[in-house]
Amino acid sequence: MNYNLYLFALLIAATCCSLVMCYLSWQRRELPIAISYGLALFTGVFYSFGYAFEVVSETLEQIRFWLRIEYIGIPFGPVLWMIMLLQYTGHQSLVRKWVVALLMVVPILTFTAHYTNERHHLFYKSMTLNESEGFPLVSLVKGPYTTFISPILISLLQ
């Protein structure tokens, strides 16, 4: 029995539920927390949608494509959730344009490193297809960005 199809269906259902919640947040956009909540959910939409198709992909090129879709949301989600939590806990004064811009440095670098990986291999040294489990999985070897650079940048921003 192929459990990947069940996982695919669950991920698509989660994507649809998240999209509905994004729409409801957009309707309440006069509230600052609704905007950050909706954007944070939207990053999850990219991840769950991309991952749904990644688990049913059969070639390395298909998996690479869906990883690119996932990485539209993955790096930005934690920053947007943190902004939403600051607003929710009454620390709205900490959410300033320059603070948000500073927090977005690591996600933008991560996004860029992932999308341009074929040129420099800083994000992944290699990606190979592993079919030992009966369905295709990608085996990734981390590159210098994910091993050293990203953790250093994150610790500097703390």
Q: Which residues, at least 6 apart from 9, have a Cβ–Cβ distance to it below 8 Å?
A: none
What is the span of the domain harbouring residue 153? Answer: 3-157
Crossing angle of helices 105-115 and 150-157, in 10° steps, is: 170
Alpha carbon distance 135, 65 (integer Å): 18
Mean pLDDT of the chain: 88
Enumerate long-range contacts of 121-126, CB under 8 Å, 24 or more apart. Answer: 122/149
Number of domains into which the chain is organized:
1
Confidence category of residue 1, pLDDT binned at 50, 70, 90? very low
Confidence category of residue 48, pLDDT binned at 50, 70, 90? very high
Question: How do residues 71-105 score in pLDDT, each as one tens digit?
Answer: 999 999 999 999 999 999 988 888 889 989 998 99
